[in-house]
Structure 1
Amino acid sequence: MRDGSGLSGKVHATRDGTVSVHSRYRFDGTSSEATLGAWPRDSLDIIRDRFEEISLRVSHGTDPAGRKQAVAAKLKQEQEDIERRREQQLTFGDLYAVWQTEGLLRKDGEYARSFCERHLLPLVGRTNLRDLNDSALAARLRALIAEGKCRTALELFAFAGQVLRWGLVRNPRRRLLDINPIEIDIDRLLPPGYKPYRERVLTPEEAWTLNQRFMTIREAWTLAQPEAQHQAA
């Protein structure tokens, strides 16, 4: 199609009557094609202006496609910058939320969630992963141990370690955790001679009481079986 002003191009008529206009040009010995618009969505004046802009760029030694590539590269860089800023704002709570659905073992689920929401998230949940270090965790561990809650301190240490070790092998969190902030020597914080188990044995009276409770539970379960089978039938 030629309109008499030097505009020429490849024209495709679509079912709805739209005419797409393209223009071919040569730059550095290579033939290229540029999309000028679609009539009547774009007026002929707009299409002609775009054609003249392309001709002007070629005459000044500038590849029109190069401008598009530069714009695309800029948009890509801006998107990467946005993603990088988002990563910088990821908190321990964000990591915990993903770990809870993807890394937490089902058998530990309910207890782990209850414990972490009670002890771990209030401590470091809002801390950015980039800023996370062992100071807050170590301080909390020392406080629990000083209160005689060594078992709670050990569980806090264990769950924090699970979340962070899981995060160290997942992107983008891996880039935010150069080292594991929970790599604390917990044994140095515990009282000398501390054992995570009890050595006390039951007295004969306690053993008899425990046995009676087991028997009561067993009898109740046995009596409940016929009723359960009847309801199932």
Structure 2
Amino acid sequence: MQLSEQQLSKLTATDADRTLTDSPGVRGRVRAGVDGKISVSFLFRYRFDGKHRDAPLGTWPHKSLHDIRRAVLDAKTQLEAGIDLVGQKQEARKSLQLVSAARDKLLATQRQDIALAECSFKALFEAWLEDGTIAKNKDAMKSSVTRHLCMFLDRPAGTIFGDEFVPVLRAIASKTKSVAIALFRIIRRMYGWALTHSKWTTVIRFSPLAATKQHIITGQYLRKFNKRALRPHEIPLLDRRIQETHIPEDRAVWGKARMTPLPADSEHGIWILLGTMMRVGELCNSLRSYVNFERREWRLPPDIVKTENQHVIHLSDFVIGHLEKLFALSDSPWVMPHPDDPMQPMPPQLFSKRIGDRQKPRRARKTKTRQSPTWTGLDLPGGRWMLHDLRRTGASLMQEQMILPVVIERCLNHFQESDIRRTYQVYAYEPQMKEAWLVLGQYLDQLLNPTEPGIERRPVAPPPVPAEEDWEVLPAARHWRRSPSAVVIGKLPA
């Protein structure tokens, strides 16, 4: 029995969710609104391709029963013609979505093109330099990029590919590999940072050097580690070579070339670096107020330390002797004052140049060049050495004196890579570090000032392990230490 308008108008809120049947396949569901108004949603159920589907016909009273029944007749006519009512609407909806997506993509491409034109390589680099890195040498980085990558500065950053960077970096590497490596790392880090920030992901879609290895730029497949360390027999030889710089040579041999002795501050600086194993920059940027002779300590603040933590060095008699001689040379507040302005520190580059110039072959030194005519020889049998090699030398000498590797690492103030060790192993090894520096100072004293001149020092065999009664327990620190009467392993005899 078909429904009538009068029957529908008599429906109340109590009839909500009731299903009404108008004709075979046509059903209506009664719904009550918040305001109490009654509506009936009609559906036409049909079978197409073996599946039951419901096609919406409309809602009463927005559409009258007459219009709903006419929609049923139209639906049956389309079914007889083989047209799927619901499928047709779905296809129309998909087509509309595709058109809308294509329009949005076109607009996004246009916006991206505009943004690409505005986002230059220079703008990206400056943004990364401001927010993406905590490097201390930002001025040097900016100068290097501006000088060597000037051809990319005004280009859109998102349109530069790796095959454009590689030839430029290779050309730079043919002259200075260190500069090429630094620029290579800057580019990779800069684009990697841009890909993680929403502001730049709209214009930066890829990192041009992400798949490029460093050896493609430098031509070196494996990184070569510097293993130069002065052997014990080279240390007294170095002392003799330094003293020979103060002895004038025959002018008839070298003509008008003059001898340039190694400055006294650099001479003492060499032995201080060897006795403390500190970095060259830490020595040159240290104030004299950091040194406490009474407590025999040298406290390096975090702002001059590479690892950005305070580092305390215990001074041996060997280091104290050279520090006192170094401080007596001037009244500067700096440990290593600038030769032209004592109120400024000596640049580490100047200190390194003084050592490097005195290791050049004599045939390579010409008096008419702009190089300093420093014809004194600091070259050693083991090959060319640098100031940083003194850290490796001091660590090797400690190792020779049976110092534990973990104590040597602490004395070198290396950054602990393992998060677990930094979290769970928090003991500072201060007594062991103090003992290690004292042993190193005594060893250097014996190498440079042997008790009997002309007699070569022989390696001292390690003494036997102390007996159990020579050890005592510290309950507070929960570790073992030797009693004063115990023999120290690796300590040189008096």
TM-score under structure 2 length normalisation: 0.28
1:99-138 matches, cutoff 5 A: 109-111=133-135, 119=145, 122=153, 125-128=156-159, 132-135=161-164, 137-138=165-166
8 Å Cα contact 2:188-2:209 kept in structure 1: no
Q: Using the alignment, how far apart are the partners of 1:69 and 1:12 within structure 2?
A: 26
Distance 1:179 1:142, change over 3 A: closer
Q: Using the alignment, how far apart are the partners of 1:43 and 1:15 within structure 2?
A: 17
Match of 2:181 in 1: 154
Paired amino acid for 2:84: D
1:19-38 matches, cutoff 5 A: 19-28=39-48, 29-38=50-59
Unaligned residue ranges in structure 2 (runs of 5+): 6-21, 196-204, 229-261, 270-281, 292-297, 300-494
- The C-alpha deviation readout for 1:1-59, integer Å capped at 9, x for no partner, is 7358979431222224252422223223543212233445x443775665444333222
SS in structure 2 of the partner of residue 110 of structure 1: coil
Match of 2:30 in 1: 12
Q: Using the alignment, how far apart are the partners of 1:60 and 1:2 within structure 2?
A: 28
Match of 2:401 in 1: none
Q: Using the alignment, how far apart are the partners of 1:122 and 1:134 within structure 2?
A: 16
Q: Using the alignment, how far apart are the partners of 2:287 and 2:171 within structure 1?
A: 42
1:175-190 matches, cutoff 5 A: 182-183=212-213, 185-188=216-219
Match of 2:87 in 1: 66
Q: Using the alignment, how far apart are the partners of 2:73 and 2:186 within structure 1?
A: 66
Q: Using the alignment, how far apart are the partners of 1:217 and 1:48 within structure 2?
A: 100
SS in structure 1 of the partner of residue 43 of structure 2: strand
Relative contact order: is structure 1 or structure 2 higher (C-alpha 8 Å, sep ≥ 6)?
1
- The C-alpha deviation readout for 1:146-184, integer Å capped at 9, x for no partner, is 7x66434212212434546x97xxxxxxx9789956457
8 Å Cα contact 1:134-1:181 kept in structure 2: no
- The C-alpha deviation readout for 1:91-141, integer Å capped at 9, x for no partner, is 7x7xxx9xx99xxxx9x83339x659x94884765334xx73412x12442
Q: Note the C-alpha offset of 1:186.
A: 0.7
Report which of the two has the higher share of helix.
1
Distance 1:30 1:127, change over 3 A: closer
Distance 1:49 1:183, change over 3 A: farther
Paired amino acid for 1:134: D
Q: Using the alignment, how far apart are the partners of 1:217 and 1:50 within structure 2?
A: 97
Q: Using the alignment, how far apart are the partners of 1:208 and 1:187 within structure 2?
A: 37
Q: Using the alignment, how far apart are the partners of 2:43 and 2:211 within structure 1?
A: 60
8 Å Cα contact 1:10-1:21 kept in structure 2: yes
Structure with higher Rg: it is: 2
Q: Using the alignment, how far apart are the partners of 1:78 and 1:196 within structure 2?
A: 60
Q: How big is the alpha-carbon RMSD for the aligned residues of Structure 1 and Structure 2? A: 5.6
8 Å Cα contact 2:29-2:42 kept in structure 1: yes
| Identity level (%) | 15
Match of 1:2 in 2: 3
8 Å Cα contact 1:24-1:31 kept in structure 2: no
TM-score under structure 1 length normalisation: 0.50
8 Å Cα contact 2:41-2:58 kept in structure 1: yes
8 Å Cα contact 1:23-1:35 kept in structure 2: yes
8 Å Cα contact 1:151-1:196 kept in structure 2: no
